[in-house]
Amino acid sequence: MLKLLVAVAFMFGAAAAGNFSKDVTVTWGNGNGKILNGGQLVSLSLDKSTGSGFESNDQFLFGRFDVQMKLVPNNSAGTVTTFFMSSQGNAHDEIDLEFLGNSSGQPYTLHTNVFAKGVGGREQQFRLWFDPTVAFHTYTILWNSQRIIILVDNKPVRVFINYEAKGIPFPNTQPMKVYASLWNADDWATQGGTVKTNWTLAPFTAYYSNYNANGCVVSGSGNSCANSTVGNQAWQTQGLDANGRNWIRLVQSKYMIYNYCTDAKRFPNSTFPSECKLPRF
């Protein structure tokens, strides 16, 4: 099956990596978050007292955001490792990648969600088709004015299209920062909260490398994409071609374990959100 997946993969190019020391700030964790190797690596740790996290120094309105991650190995039940974007305020926008820990021998779950104008509830979950704790893998949020694409190892796993013209909110006006964190959520993260964090195994540690934020930086002086040398980049209009659509159909049929658009218990009598009735990509 893996050979088949690779054969139909749709590849997206990534820009050169940035430097954590210049691009992000560790904002919480009482020393559990560390920038290492001259800015090439971040370690985030979780113990019984606290997790840890960092955020980007810049805020963006659209862009492509890549990072490589190596997740907590062995028994990581109850832990959540994240890479996401968010604006501020009650009516905030947010694009989530959350990696839900597991008991030894069980697969990680990639939990994704999109908030627009303060409204979320657009969850899709996937089992990863590899062990994300053995080596670094690349995770990407591509966000332009037409769509959001979430990629794993440069392969699309989810698309959220801008249907604002049909009355469906889409994140396109509020600048967002990039965030990453490792925290405890054993009330829900592993098998619905039935498997708790084993604190005798703490500290739990995840690693981040090869971070790159290639986007429109918003600051008091304006938007960097107004500069002609920054504009007209591939990510600004990027979508899926036939190979990309084939890949995403395959990964969603084989590895998706939850889709809010098919949850009849949550949305009885076919009262699914409006975007669920429109083309997915």
How do residues 221-234 score in pLDDT, each as one tens digit? 899 888 755 557 89
Tokens 């090869």 found at: 210
pLDDT of 105 reads: 81
Q: Are strands 33-36 and 177-184 parallel, antiparallel or unpaired?
A: unpaired
Least confident of 19-33, 45-59, 103-117: 103-117
User: How much is the average pLDDT of 22-41?
Assistant: 98
User: 275 catalytic, yes or no?
Assistant: no
What is the average pLDDT score of the chain?
92
CA atoms of 16 and 158, how far apart (whole Å): 23
At 98, the amino acid letter reads E
pLDDT of 11 reads: 38
Q: Does residue 277 carry a pLDDT above 50?
A: yes
pLDDT of 15 reads: 44
User: How much is the average pLDDT of 166-194?
Assistant: 94
User: How much is the average pLDDT of 209-218?
Assistant: 96
pLDDT digits (tens, 9 = 90+) for 142-160: 999 999 999 999 999 999 9
Longest dimension (CA), the chain: 56
CA angle 128, 251, 71 (to 5 degrees): 15
User: How much is the average pLDDT of 197-206?
Assistant: 97
Taking the C-alpha atoms of 251, 247, 9 and 125 in order, what is their torsion angle to the nearest 10 degrees?
Answer: -30
SS (H, E, C) the chain: CHHHHHHCCCCCCCCCCCCHHHHEEEEECCCCEEEEHHHCEEEEEECCCCCEEEEECCEEEEEEEEEEEECCCCCCCCEEEEEEEECCCCCCCEEEEEEECCCCCCCCEEEEEEEECCECCCCEEEECCCCCCCCCEEEEEEECCCEEEEEECCEEEEEEECCHHHCCCCCCCCCEEEEEEEEECCCCCCHHHCCCCCHHHCCEEEEEEEEEEEEEEEECCEEHHHCCCCCCCHHHCCCCCHHHHHHHHHHHHHHEEEEHHHCCCCCHHHCCCHHHHCCCC
At 224, the amino acid letter reads S
Instruction: Write down the pTM of the prediction.
Output: 0.93
Tokens 């392969």 found at: 155
User: 55 catalytic, yes or no?
Assistant: no
Q: Where does the pLDDT of residue 6 fall: very low under 50, low under 70, confident under 90, or very high at 90 and above?
A: very low
Domains of the chain in sequence order: 2-277 (2.60.120.200)
- 33 close to 21: Cβ distance less than 8 angstroms: no
CA atoms of 108 and 146, how far apart (whole Å): 30
Catalytic: which of 98, 123, 164, 275? 98
pLDDT of 233 reads: 87
Q: Does residue 82 carry a pLDDT above 50?
A: yes
pLDDT digits (tens, 9 = 90+) for 219-265: 998 998 887 555 578 999 999 999 999 999 999 999 999 999 999 99
Of residues 84 and 270, which shows the higher confidence score? 84
Q: Where does the pLDDT of residue 128 fall: very low under 50, low under 70, confident under 90, or very high at 90 and above?
A: very high
CA atoms of 277 and 168, how far apart (whole Å): 12
- Residue 143: CB atoms within 10 A of its CB come to 27
Backbone φ, ψ for residue 166 (5° rounding): -100, 15
